[in-house]
């Protein structure tokens, strides 16, 4: 059974406290704002995040934060993108394609579990996300390299998206008091992948084909 890479919480350099008003010794940046926001989300969840809380953490006024972001929606979108970039997609070269996909899903779980509310926002957003595309491309590459067609690979990706989205809801039918464990996510993903492998035929290689056609990524 493959083991997901152990998540390590990166120790970010917290920006120095700034005096309110006047000329600041160091200019504020969007990265400073996100660096201050992440520990707040890890502690209280995404729904509780406010611009005022970030401003207080930075030692500035709320208008100073709004100078760099248009509003809370933009702040949340940038924050979700930052978290999604932390997902480890480095799977071992010797891992089978389905084992590698399981590792990716478990790494997604470990990353999003550190920042409550972010995973649901990432999966629900209709906005194109480079970080989310990076995860989708990794899964698609694994399936396509195994020899399945682009259409079947996209269907499998959609199924895994539905599975993980349901997982993020954090409820267990008929056993609501029993906490969800990553072992259940792994078993469920393996059931889906085994069903796919047992019912979907691999694509016949095209004559004189050069390179892999990934089709249109979602």
| Residue range 124-134, pLDDT digits in tens | 777 778 888 89
Predicted local distance difference test score (pLDDT) of residue 144: 96
**Tokens 């390299």 sit at which residue?**
145
Q: Of 2-16, 22-36, 176-190, which range is least confident?
A: 2-16
Predicted local distance difference test score (pLDDT) of residue 124: 77
Half-sphere exposure of residue 85: CA atoms within 13 angstroms, side-chain side: 9
What does pLDDT average to over the chain?
83
**Tokens 């195994």 sit at which residue?**
146
Q: Does the pTM exceed 0.85?
A: no
Q: Select from 108, 145, 119 the least CA-distant residue to 41.
A: 119
* Domains assigned to the chain: 30-69 (1.10.10.60), 88-199 (1.10.357)
CA-CA distance, 95 to 177, in Å (whole number)? 35
Model confidence at 20, pLDDT cuts 50, 70, 90, reads very low
Predicted local distance difference test score (pLDDT) of residue 132: 86
Predicted local distance difference test score (pLDDT) of residue 203: 84
Predicted local distance difference test score (pLDDT) of residue 11: 47
Answer for the pair 9, 107: CB distance below 8 angstroms, yes or no. Answer: no
Could you tell me which residue, 171 or 187, shows the higher pLDDT? 187
Predicted local distance difference test score (pLDDT) of residue 123: 78
pLDDT tens per residue, range 65-91: 999 998 888 999 999 999 999 999 988
């Amino acid at each position: 059974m493959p083991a997901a890479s152990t998540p390590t919480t990166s120790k970010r350099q917290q920006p120095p406290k700034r005096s309110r008003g006047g000329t600041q010794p160091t200019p504020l940046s969007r990265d400073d704002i996100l660096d201050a926001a992440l520990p707040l989300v890890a502690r209280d969840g995404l729904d509780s995040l406010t611009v005022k809380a970030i401003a207080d953490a930075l030692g500035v006024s709320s208008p100073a934060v709004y100078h760099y972001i248009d509003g809370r929606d933009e702040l949340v979108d940038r924050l979700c993108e930052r978290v999604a970039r932390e997902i480890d997609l480095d799977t071992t070269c010797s891992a089978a394609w389905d084992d590698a996909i399981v590792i990716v899903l478990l790494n997604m779980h470990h990353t999003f579990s550190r920042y409550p509310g972010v995973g649901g926002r990432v999966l629900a957003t209709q906005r194109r996300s480079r970080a989310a595309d990076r995860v989708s491309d990794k899964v698609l590459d694994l399936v396509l390299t195994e020899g399945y067609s682009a259409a079947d690979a996209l269907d499998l990706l959609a199924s895994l998206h539905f599975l993980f989205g349901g997982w993020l809801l954090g409820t267990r039918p008929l056993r609501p008091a029993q906490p969800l464990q990553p072992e259940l996510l792994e078993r469920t993903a393996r059931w889906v992948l085994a069903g796919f492998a047992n019912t979907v035929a691999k694509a016949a290689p095209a004559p004189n084909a050069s390179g892999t056609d990934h089709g249109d990524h979602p």
